[in-house]
């Protein structure tokens, strides 16, 4: 059953509202700008595509267009942060952090500058733009950086909350956003705290736990409902913060269920699954299965078709749960 403490959208399974997580950023950064005059937004010639144009319209004097120059984008932002600003940088994740990772490492993370790096158009949901723009390695890149908080919102509402939280974090933050509209599973009342996992679906005597992040959270909830209908109770947990991980909750839910599945729109290597495996290997070895892109690049196609092609859909999560339960012995 849906965990009542999660306070999710009542229409989640029947007629869910849909919105792109990037639109949550667009709304959230305007709110952040209204609350704190130190907030500024920079972009690399992608204001509309990243939803940064909402901030530009509201605060044109606090908006910086650097052009197609992603290394300059984050270096300028670091300089502004050193003078007391709270900069948000916006570009496609394939370019930031994909193209400018060294500048992020050296000018932001190394110096612990409170810059919020927003990587847009992540994952295969980028659709027809194809492999060059479908960033599937960004979590691995960014969670490796000391001082860097890494957040992957599950929907537009959580994207708004994550943006507001990042503006208050006073440390480097990476925010991950998608282009395609996906179900809005949370509400204004749904709790959000950096570094705190959220139990969204609570199984009675769960046989497995699904840890999901980003746009895969809605698929995890659909999978949990289907499994319960088949007599296989599970937990479904939203891990919106990849770093710092909620280690205590991860270990607790793994102990309760004895088996774990991770789901993410990212490469298997270095993402959510790898991060949780590190925790469980150290604290509580547990059978695991990974729903993720398996060492492949993306390709052009419709977003829904690509989700199925790369085995990220509801049926794949259900199959992974049944497989890992069978391994428990």
CATH code at 60? 3.40.50.970
The residue among 183, 216, 233 that closes a domain is 183
Q: Is 204 in the same domain as 266? A: yes
The residue among 124, 155, 183 that closes a domain is 183
Q: Is 246 in the same domain as 144? A: no
Residues with pLDDT less than 50, the chain: none
Domain count, the chain: 2
The answer to whether the bond into 97 is cis (omega within 30° of 0) is yes
Other Cβ atoms closer than 10 A to 310: 22
Q: Is 257 in the same domain as 151? A: no
Q: Is 26 in the same domain as 171? A: yes
Q: Is 174 in the same domain as 207? A: no
CATH code at 287? 3.40.50.920
* Residue range of the domain that includes 300: 4-15+191-327
Q: Is 164 in the same domain as 216? A: no
Rounded-to-integer distance, Cα 155 and Cα 37, Å: 26
The residue among 148, 183, 218 that closes a domain is 183
pLDDT digits (tens, 9 = 90+) for 83-109: 999 999 999 999 999 999 999 999 999
**What pLDDT is attached to residue 328?**
84
Q: Active site includes 158?
A: no
Q: Which one is catalytic: 34, 48, 61, 70?
A: 70
Structure tokens at 148: 């860097």
For residue 172, give Cα distances in angstroms to 83, 132, 147, 266: 15, 26, 6, 21
Q: Is 153 in the same domain as 198? A: no
Query: Distance from first CA to last CA of the chain, Å, rounded?
Result: 26
Beta strands in the chain (DSSP E): 18-19, 39-43, 63-65, 86-92, 116-120, 149-151, 173-176, 182-183, 198-201, 208-212, 234-238, 241-243, 260-267, 288-293
Rounded-to-integer distance, Cα 115 and Cα 175, Å: 11
Other Cβ atoms closer than 10 A to 67: 10
Q: Is 31 in the same domain as 8? A: no
Q: Is 124 in the same domain as 245? A: no
Q: Is 108 in the same domain as 216? A: no
Q: Is 177 in the same domain as 199? A: no
**What pLDDT is attached to residue 10?**
85
The answer to whether the bond into 244 is cis (omega within 30° of 0) is yes
Q: Is 25 in the same domain as 155? A: yes
pLDDT digits (tens, 9 = 90+) for 207-252: 999 999 999 999 999 999 999 999 999 999 999 999 999 999 999 9
Dihedral sign of CA atoms 150, 153, 158, 160 in order: positive
Decide: residue 184, CB within 10 A, 0-12 exposed, 13-18 middle, 19+ buried: buried
**What pLDDT is attached to residue 197?**
98
């Amino acid at each position: 059953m849906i965990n009542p403490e999660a306070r999710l959208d009542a229409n989640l399974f029947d007629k869910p509202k849909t919105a792109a997580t990037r639109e949550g950023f667009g709304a959230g950064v305007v709110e952040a700008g209204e609350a704190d005059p130190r907030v500024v937004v920079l972009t690399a010639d992608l204001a509309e595509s990243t939803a940064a144009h909402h901030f530009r319209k509201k605060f044109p004097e606090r908006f910086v267009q650097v052009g197609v120059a992603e290394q300059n984008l984050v270096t300028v932002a670091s300089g502004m942060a050193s003078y007391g600003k709270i900069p948000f940088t916006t570009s496609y994740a394939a370019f930031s952090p994909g193209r400018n990772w060294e500048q992020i490492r050296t000018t932001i993370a190394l110096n612990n500058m409170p810059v919020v790096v927003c990587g847009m158009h992540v994952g295969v949901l980028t659709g027809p733009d194809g492999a060059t723009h479908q960033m599937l390695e960004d979590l691995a890149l960014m969670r490796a950086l000391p001082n860097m908080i890494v957040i992957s919102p599950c929907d537009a509402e959580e994207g708004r909350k994550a943006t507001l939280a990042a503006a208050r974090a006073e440390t480097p933050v990476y925010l991950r956003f998608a282009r395609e509209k996906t179900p809005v599973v949370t509400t204004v009342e749904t709790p959000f705290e950096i570094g705190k996992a959220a139990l969204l679906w609570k199984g009675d005597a769960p046989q497995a736990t699904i840890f999901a992040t980003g746009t895969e959270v809605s698929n995890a909830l659909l999978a949990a409902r289907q499994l319960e209908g088949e007599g296989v109770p599970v937990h479904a947990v939203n891990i919106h913060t990849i770093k710092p991980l909620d280690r205590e909750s991860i270990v607790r839910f793994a102990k309760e269920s004895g088996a774990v599945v991770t789901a993410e729109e990212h490469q298997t290597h270095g993402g959510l699954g790898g991060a949780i495996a590190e925790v469980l290997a150290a604290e509580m070895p547990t059978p695991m299965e990974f729903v993720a892109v398996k060492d492949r690049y993306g390709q052009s196609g419709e977003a829904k078709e690509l989700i199925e092609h790369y085995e990220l859909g509801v049926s794949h999560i259900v199959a992974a749960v049944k497989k890992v339960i069978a391994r428990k012995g």
